[in-house]
Chains A and B, each alone.
Chain A
Amino acid sequence: MIKKKVSMLGSFAVGKTSLVQQYVRSIFSEKYHTTIGVKIDQKIVIVDHQEVNLMLWDIHGEDDYQKVKPAYVMGSSAYFIVIDGTRRNTIETALELQEMAAKVSEGAPFIVLINKADLKEEWEVTETDIQSLKEKGMTVITTSAKDGFQVEEAFLKLSQQMMK
């Protein structure tokens, strides 16, 4: 079976762990539980009639207390850059991480997820911000780890891009 490493990158508390838990186990917890280090979850999926073991690297959030080591992203077949729609300042961290990941993963495909779509009324990220990301050539998908909105679709899309 093919094994593919997919890394989750983003600032702290954007919902990386929640997205993985929703995708792998269809569960969601309201309580914020900070991730220490790296957690690896696995899910077997069928992509283009092929069985693929997705190794999901849930990497701790980037902030002043913990910096994401480039080594964690090494060997990634693809990665997600996760932004919190209710916190505009997570865009800057996301772009910095994307820049790092692009160098380390040697051109692996990625998708930008703007998470917490269920809290749209509290969003600070605007349509202009999203457009700006798209103009940089990024694929942007809004998701909600809470109600599963577009989570499955995001992982499927990235898996397909990865297998090309």
Chain B
Amino acid sequence: MKYSLPEHIIGHIFKELPPYAGLLCLQTDSLGTLLFWQGSWKHYFNIPPNKGADLAKIIPFLAGMFPLKTNTLQLQNLQLKENLWVDIHLMKDSDTSHWIFVTDRSEEIIKMQGLLQKVNEHQLQVNKPNLDEPCANPFGHLHLFQVATFEKLNNGTYKSIGEVPDWLITLRPEVAQKGENVHLGDNFPFLEIFESEIKTSDSIVTNHFFNSGIWIEADSLGNEYFLRAFATSFDDTEYLLIRMLNDDLLGEQDTMQKAREQQLAFENLAKAQKQLKELLGYKDMFVSIVTHDLRSPIASVLGATEMLTNDQHLMDQLDDFTKELMLGMREEMTRMLDYNDKLYHWSNLELGNFELVKENIEVDKLVKMIVQTFNSKLKKKDIHFSSTHPQNLKIKVDITLFLQALNNLVGNAIKFTPKEGKIQMLVEQDKRHTRITISDTGVGMDEEKAAHLFENTINKSTHGTQGEKGSALGLGIIKKIIEAHKFSIQARSKPGLGTQITIEM
């Protein structure tokens, strides 16, 4: 498309007016062959203009542009040569004619470039190691890893090499500034020890490497720095590297802290356990002593009430109320003595104040002793007691303690069996075990309760079928005795269907 400006105006623009600084107008055919030019050709190109020349060869940026696919196209900030930047505007005049306008943008771009260069350099300068220059530290840019590197000099002092990490500048500015002849031991007393360690260690000779323990330095503000030193040799020169570990150490310190806190917690727990054990011991000893001392006075009072109540002549002279009182007193004193005895036995068992003395005893003899003990109670409730056991069977037990356990079991059976009930003691033996089972036709208990009957040493006391009172200690005593013999005991029961207790030996 031709411009609609009159020809003389165009002529005036091109001929009369000073050419636009740097404006170059070019006309080509559709293939980019130069047809016409107007403006400062020499300003842009070193070769003279030549009608018929391929413009793409003169301006390489235009390669592949012809014929133009669009009516206009603008290319900006193209560097034609050193210190020369241009904008190129392309316009499709017709299918056979293209116009190209070239303008000089150098002044603006050079100004912008200067500014951009300064901004970028400033940005880069903060963290940019001078990688263009040869590194002064033979181990590389270790300061980036918070490592200060020192070369050992012949006089025993040190020289700082390479870049200095920030922590050293903050912590020991005099060391960072001094550079040479640094007495590291004066600034880091810990290193005096490390250096003497190096002398006595083979590690640096064999491995060319030796590291110190961790030490802590503080700056003037009280900030702590965790440091570790490494001594090494390279190319016949000794070096000392000091690394700040603060970031790395947080996890390790946390772990160590938790481990030691846990250790202290365990120690406190052990202490508390020991105190508790002592207290329990004192408690059992107290109970043992008190029950022992109470036995005599209780037995005395019981003896007196028994004497009085056995005197039929005296009893006949009493009114019913007083008689009931006397009989009740005897019953309570009997129970109290029994309770006291049980408490005494229990406390001694808890203290471990016994030593099993095992002997062989015939089961038959044991049964007779039990029957003799409970004869009156059995008769009183009209309970039938029977025993089934192999003839001449013997068991090896501590007779006193084991009999006490059996008596407690039979006593409970009598307590919880109603009148005219049955109690059976069955002793069986196979190749591995001997079992004693005491069964009753008593009131029974929940299956769940029976399963856990011997788990606690102290249980709640319950009254018998005729209101018989007991203590809560009997089952605990049985459990202790059975455990001491290394036997086992279990109970099975159902409400209303009686109870079975089995001791397995």
Contacts and interface: CB of A to CB of B under 8 A. Distances in A.
B196 interface: yes
Contacts of A39: 215-216, 218, 224
Interface stretch (B8-16, B39-47, B185-193, B304-312): B185-193
A60 B194 CA distance: 16
B267 interface: yes
Contact of B215 (A40, A66, A89): A40
A34 B260 contact: yes
B197 interface: yes
A36 B260 contact: no
B280 interface: no
Contact of B189 (A33, A40, A66): A40
Contacts of A40: 189-190, 215-217
A37 B189 contact: no
Contacts of A89: 267
Interface in B178-220: 189-190, 192-194, 196-197, 213-218
**Chain A interface helix/strand/loop/mixed:** loop
Contacts of A65: 256, 259-260
B216 A63 contact: no
A80 B440 CA distance: 74
B260 A12 contact: yes
A36 B263 contact: no
Interface string B259-276: 111011001000100000
Interface string A42-71: 000000000000010000010101100101
B264 A13 contact: yes
Contacts of A35: 216
By size class, the interface of chain A is 20 to 34
A34 B190 contact: no
B153 interface: no
A37 B214 contact: yes
Contact of B264 (A5, A32, A69): A32
Contact of A71 (B193, B259, B261, B263): B193
A63 B226 CA distance: 20
A60 to B, nearest CB: 8
A36 B226 contact: yes
A37 B256 contact: no
A55 B189 contact: yes
B263 A12 contact: yes
A38 interface: yes
Contacts of A72: 193, 213
B193 A36 contact: no
Given A38-B213, A38-B215, A75-B192, A124 B260 contact: no
Contacts of A63: 260, 263
A61 B69 CA distance: 82
Nearest to A86: B271
B115 interface: no
A87 interface: yes
A100 interface: no
Contact of B197 (A32, A55, A71, A87): A71
B197 A36 contact: no
A36 B214 contact: yes
A60 B264 CA distance: 16
B257 interface: yes
A69 B211 CA distance: 13
Contacts of A119: none
B267 A74 contact: no
A110 B189 CA distance: 21
Nearest to A38: B215
A37 B190 CA distance: 10
B189 A36 contact: no
B462 interface: no
B285 to A, nearest CB: 22
A74 B193 contact: yes
B193 A34 contact: no
Contacts of A5: 189
A66 to B, nearest CB: 8
Contacts of B259: 65
B264 A38 contact: no
B253 interface: yes
B253 A34 contact: yes
A33 B216 contact: no
Contacts of A69: 213
A38 B216 contact: yes
B196 A37 contact: no
Contacts of A36: 214, 216, 226, 249, 252-253, 256
Contacts of A13: 260, 264
Given A34-B256, A36-B249, A37-B215, A87 B263 contact: no
A40 to B, nearest CB: 5
Nearest to A72: B193
Nearest to A87: B267
Contacts of B214: 36-38
Contacts of B196: 71, 74-75
B250 to A, nearest CB: 11
B24 to A, nearest CB: 75
Given A39-B215, A40-B189, A34 B257 contact: yes
A12 B259 CA distance: 11
A85 to B, nearest CB: 13
Nearest to B270: A89
Nearest to A64: B263
Contacts of B224: 39
B216 A124 contact: no
B213 A37 contact: yes
Nearest to B253: A36
Given A65-B256, A124-B271, A38 B190 contact: yes
11 contacts: A12-B263, A13-B264, A34-B256, A37-B216, A38-B213, A39-B224, A40-B215, A71-B196, A72-B213, A75-B192, A87-B267
Which 9 A-B residue pairings sit nearest by Cβ, starting from the closest? A37-B214, A39-B216, A38-B215, A71-B197, A34-B257, A34-B260, A37-B215, A71-B193, A37-B213
Given A34-B260, A40-B190, 10 more contacts: A12-B263, A34-B257, A37-B213, A37-B226, A38-B215, A71-B193, A71-B196, A71-B197, A75-B192, A75-B196
